[in-house]
Amino acid sequence: MNEILEILSHNARITPEEIAKLTGQSVSAVKNAVKKYEKDGVIVQYKTVINKELLEDTHPLVRALIEVSITPQKDVGFDYIAERIYSFPEVKSCYLVSGTYDLLVEVEGENIQTVSNFIASKLSPMSNVRGTATHFLLKKYKEDGHTLKKGKEKQRLNISY
């Protein structure tokens, strides 16, 4: 990955001036590169990773991973039916996978009931969907490389040779 993208992927709040210092490039070169990545859709969005499990005041949302078996359609294969599924806002991610089922769909809802309803009324009855198997997430340990655990106290000495 390009160095600017690598830095931004770890810290979206870093300024072009700072990136310039880190990479040894000029500020305007960095700005232009970022602008181009945004325009080309390489940079999709700048977002914050939030550990919702630590937020006590909000009602936690429920997530489920759903294995979906489908019958591919002539000419458009899996893409057509995948698009019909991922267009629902309840669907947070959608992957075509190898193995015993076809699509792995991640769905979010307010509680088990809403997620179940979505599956029963929207997903399962869809033509070409042959079957589903739903796994509700019970606890998140790690997400996208981030370990979701409270930071440990640092263990290094303040000073050493």
Q: Is 22 helix (H, G, I), strand (E, B) or coil?
A: helix
Contact characters 79-108, another protein, x per CB under 8 A: ------------------------------
Structure tokens at 8: 């931004």
Of residues 4, 5, 23, 75, which one binds another protein by CB under 8 A?
Answer: 23
The count of other CB atoms within 10 Å of the CB of residue 66 is: 23
Does position 18 interact with another protein (CB under 8 A)? The reply is yes
Identify which range of 72-80, 85-93, 132-140, 152-160 contacts another protein by CB under 8 A. 152-160
Structure tokens at 111: 């509680």
Alpha-carbon span 150 to 44, nearest angstrom: 28
- Which residues here bind another protein, judged by CB under 8 A? 3, 7, 11, 18, 21-24, 156-161
